[in-house]
Amino acid sequence: MPGMNVQTNGGSLQQSTLGVINTLAASIFPSQGNAYFVNPRTGDDVYGDGGRNNPFKSVAHAFSFATAGQNDIIFLEAAGNAAADTTDYQLSTLTWNKDLVHLIGINGAPQLGQRSRIALVSTYATASNLITISANGCRFENIEFFEGVTSALPTGCMQVTGQRNHFVNCQISGMGATTNDIAGAYSLYLNGAAENIFERCYIGLDTVTLGAAANSQIKCATQATRNILTGCTIATYTNHATNSNFLRVPTGSLDRWLQFDNCRFINPIDSASTNLTQAFIVASDAGGTVLLTGADTGVLGATDWNSTDSGNVTAINGTVTANTFGLAVDVLR
């Protein structure tokens, strides 16, 4: 079986141990690159070597050893069920700027609350986001990204400016505290991002009540192009009918299309959240189409997809208007 080289960075591993690690890594994610292991609870960024039995403590430290362009992989190990035991806490925005460097969570792979977790340190008070992905061709899998602190300054969770990245089974949650309910905040920000795919991801959050400011779980800017979300759940919880929407697409923020395929938009109105007037706020001159495809695409907790009828929110079977495509209705029998 072709394996990957595990970088020891000055440490020494017995050849038999190295073989076991390479075999394990190759079975999870075959690659010609190096593999680094991170464990937030038991790892050590000073004396660790990034090997399976001597992991680093932080993703940022492991990332500093990774080489762009060779498919290096960072494995973030779950280290317990409690968030404090298994979270890599960031003191500043984590900038992912090396092409073809991948981040894979080793955990039970639920869709919510993966125990391979990245979050801001509780004292974070900077007008920036949790992670910015400017690199291209990277894979992120089984990771929870969570932004929620007491400061009103953080802007959101994940900003993507790169191309052709693949996100699989990740939770991407911003505005995780009421203080983060600020204008323009987000869970996912597609800022010039192009040809990325989000597969079976959970985007947003329904454990914090929003509504004080105009924000959204997903927002676009700078001609985001041909991005696909498939099999995803997008969630929000609000006390305002128009402020906290699932998606905002202002003037000139798209190019070609943004596709939601078999995605569910959930605003839990049966648990006291306020029904939204419209799920999406999309400018008629956004520059592209918001495309809804798949029989399982639908919305709960919104009267309309796009009540302003901007003309560029389109289902595969025609233009979306009120009470047509995928709007949830109560089952009477």
Which of 263-267, 301-305, 308-312, 315-319 has the weakest average pLDDT?
A: 315-319
Cα separation, 232 vs 195, whole angstroms: 16
Q: Please give the torsion angle defined by the CA atoms of residues 55, 58, 60 and 65, in that order, rounded to the nearest 10 degrees.
A: -10
pLDDT, tens digit (0-9, with 9 covering 90-100), for 101-115: 999 999 999 999 999
What amino acid occupies position 290?
A: V
What letter would DSSP give residue 78? -
pLDDT, tens digit (0-9, with 9 covering 90-100), for 278-297: 999 999 999 999 999 988 89
Check pLDDT > 70 for residue 12: no
Task: Tell the burial category of 154 from Cβ atoms under 10 Å away from its Cβ (0-12, 13-18, 19+).
Answer: buried
Range 223-245 average pLDDT: 97
Would you tell me how many other CB atoms lie within 10 Å of the CB of residue 2?
8
Q: What is the pTM of this model?
A: 0.88
Walk me through the domains of the chain, giving residue ranges and CATH numbers: 1-77 (3.30.1910), 89-319 (2.160.20)
Cα separation, 173 vs 276, whole angstroms: 20
Cα separation, 206 vs 277, whole angstroms: 18
**What local confidence, expressed as pLDDT, does residue 8 receive?**
41
DSSP secondary structure, 214-243, as one string = -EEEEEEES-EEEEEEES-EEE--BSSSSS
Closest C-alpha to 87, from 31, 149, 29, 132:
149
pLDDT, tens digit (0-9, with 9 covering 90-100), for 149-199: 999 999 999 999 999 999 999 999 999 999 999 999 999 999 999 999 999
Mean confidence (pLDDT) of the chain: 89
**What local confidence, expressed as pLDDT, does residue 15 receive?**
44
- The rounded percent of the chain whose pLDDT value lies above 70 is 87
What letter would DSSP give residue 274? P
Partner residues linked to 290 by β-bridges? 258, 313
* Phi, psi (degrees; rounded to nearest 5) at 5: -85, 130
Cα separation, 212 vs 82, whole angstroms: 30
**What local confidence, expressed as pLDDT, does residue 100 receive?**
97
